[in-house]
Structure 1
């Protein structure tokens, strides 16, 4: 029987971690992997989809940046936005593969919205980057557990 609560919790933590709220989903993923009660593929897919959809929130904020830019809860400062825009203009859509980075990753996803990156391209590249990151985290956890 599938424990939907565990998958839902992982999805929620991964989703929130990709938005403006500080949260780490990796610890939850590692705990579920080490419990050896869940499908590794299912956990990786759940975390990757949740984190990607959370990044869509940032993309949407970027699309409406002029309305939200000066709000205290906005996920990126002016400096971070300028840096991310410069990075994005230099490397283009391929910079979305680095959206998983703990510093600057959220800003890249916001800037993708500001610069009107098409949503299908955004989803594909962000998902690839985030899935690779969760794959590395899972491999490290499994390796460390022996």
Structure 2
């Protein structure tokens, strides 16, 4: 039974990681379902979901960092790209608290790496935003189930 529980936490990690990249994932649904089962502590669920999702976003940050060798600011042409870039330049690292949001979050992480924002500040703010989101999902799921 312990191996099954560990595997489930592993799947939560994988789902959270892929959810934070361009790959599809549904870590929120899995977290809610695992919360409803009541077999895992809040700490372990939040730890594995947050770790996976944060590492996924930092992978996107790293891809942005690598992209600086291929694309310059003047290469961004679309209105959306220009808007996201301007917003991130204006508000800096604090925008990364919103890295958990669908679509926008991936772009923020990519641009943060591309702008070479501090790795450690990015990691902390991305992780904090994701932890708060998963904590809210856990609390809502524990009230529903």
Alignment of 1:1-146 (within 5 A): 1=2, 3-66=5-68, 78-145=78-145
**Structure 1 residues 115 and 28 mapped into 2: Cα distance closer, same or farther (>3 Å)?**
same
Cα deviations across residues 99-125 of structure 1 (Å, max 9, x unaligned)?
Answer: 001131110000100110111111100
Task: Indicate the structure (1 or 2) with the bigger Cα radius of gyration.
Answer: 2
Taking structure 1 as the reference length, what is the TM-score of the superposition? 0.87
Cα deviations across residues 79-102 of structure 1 (Å, max 9, x unaligned)?
Answer: 543222111011110000000011
The alpha carbon displacement at 1:26 in A equals 0.4
Taking structure 2 as the reference length, what is the TM-score of the superposition? 0.88
Which consecutive unaligned segments of at least 5 residues does structure 1 have? 70-76
What is the total number of aligned residue pairs between the two structures?
Answer: 138
**Structure 1 residues 61 and 136 mapped into 2: Cα distance closer, same or farther (>3 Å)?**
same
